[in-house]
Structure 1
Amino acid sequence: MDRAPSSSADAARVIDGKAVAAEVTDVIKQAVAASGLKPGLAVVLVGEDPASQVYVGAKGRKAQELGFHSVQHTLPATTTKQELLDLIAALNTDDAIDGILVQMPLPPHLDPVPVIEAIDPLKDVDGLHPVNAGRLALGDRDRALVSCTPAGCLILIKRIAGSDLSGRDALVIGRSNLVGKPIAQLLLQENCTVTIAHSRSRDLPELARRADILIAAVGRPEIVRGDWIKPGAIVIDVGVNRIPAPERGAGKTRLVGDVAFAEAIGRASAITPVPGGVGPMTIAMLMANTLTAACRAAGIAVPRF
């Protein structure tokens, strides 16, 4: 049975991630004011990757805007594994810090796995620690900290489809630990029938054409074409890809997602743009995770987002 919306009135609805993110941050502001908490977020940046510097700056500004205790540790690209682990150990025991985020990617000589595993799972606001990934897989969301982008994607989906996703066919294109696997777990717990597609999947277009909910998180520019989209499907585009834009001038570029937006918008009932869709939700859910960690540490109720 086709449960996806399909009316022509809903066609071409663009999901405003900035507006939904603002709703989430309003809940956070109200909860901080009502509780008297001052959630603490520590962001660790190693090296001088330009994109990472932009992301870290945006996270710090949002934390300060919400009344958080915001700390940034900027380390040189030559930082050793032990130096980074020592900093994480100090943050783990700092009572003023509720959330720790180590910005990825790290310089090539630093293996991210032991770094992630060194973070206290109760402060792992990126949701990547094996304890949090395991709790999510077991359906224990009351104790897990869920990876920010997948958590934000689920909120966007429910804004369109409503709270009950039971029985819908969902396709996740991409199997990363950061997005693909956790969003599949979340959708499974919402009683969706979930397929995870990847580089070895056969006949990806046909898999896509069956999906009421399609999440593209593979990092390949416009790989999902318009004729792959089931009419009336909800499309969440997690990809952020920079491609040449000679029409803007020599050497200019533009951002596109993993979905060919102009083609898909005529078939989907709702679709996230790039930029302005999933991106703002990722930062909002990082703040939500930090507040959640602070509430749990204080033994008070965690807000619903």
Structure 2
Amino acid sequence: MPLEINETDKSGFPDAVSKAEDADLVIMVLGEDAFQSGEGRSQAKIGLAGLQQELLEEIYKVNKNIALVLINGRPLEITWAAENIPAIVEAWQLGSESGNAIADVLFGKYNPSGKLPVSFPKAVGQEPLYYNQQNTGRPYSEQHVTFSSYTDIGKEALYPFGFGLSYTDFEYGEISLSAEEMSANKEITLSVPVTNSGDVAGKEVVQLYLRDLVASKSRPVKELKGFEMIELNPGETKTVEFSIDEEMLRFYNASKQWESESGDFEVFVGGNSRDLKKAAFTLNK
């Protein structure tokens, strides 16, 4: 029988805790209802609503072997769960076959390969939280009085844009560029080896980011410019290639034109917007 637990009624807690204590694995499905997301559904608090967080912690006290399934339409503040729960599945708010799809992931019939299209914050005060934020011009170091961060929490996301795990692991080799300089009518080929270092076959979304170091207008610290999904067997390595041309480097400048500017660029490749390999090249126009 499903347990119905609302914001004030804890009558289902003893039964839930008792069942969890005797279970080998506890699957907890928490999150938001359908009416919490959508137009005009902003929230000041983005943690687990009602008694959900309290229930999660009570279950954890008697059985730490928990798989947490999140049903939600926005990034949630789940710092406690990230630090304590061994497995978290971000399922979002899916359709009528969502139960079957989630079950296939939980019981290993499908190896997940999804990546987050948003960043998850450590606290609601970090929102809005963008991976492609503008450079503040301030140093990111606590040794400086005016450092660019928070005084009470780290600056980085709990889970960054592009993040996602599977039942295997992927290792990225070093980036190789076909040239370190590029002209307006040429392109550079970037290549990077990716290895499945785990025990099962899996898919990985290889992501390409770029940064314009100095421009006439402040540019983001990184921007997603390309991605490619590859499938690898255990121990297999594939070399992924991206073509970087002048058009990829353009932006809408102060003159209201889509143009690129000569100068130095950094290029990044990895499985998310945080854990990246880096190289550099120069555009000469």
TM-score, structure 1 as length reference: 0.23
More strand by share: 2
Higher relative contact order (CA 8 A, sep 6+): 1
Larger radius of gyration: 2
Q: Which has the higher helix share?
A: 1
- TM-score of the aligned structures, taking structure 2 as reference length: 0.25
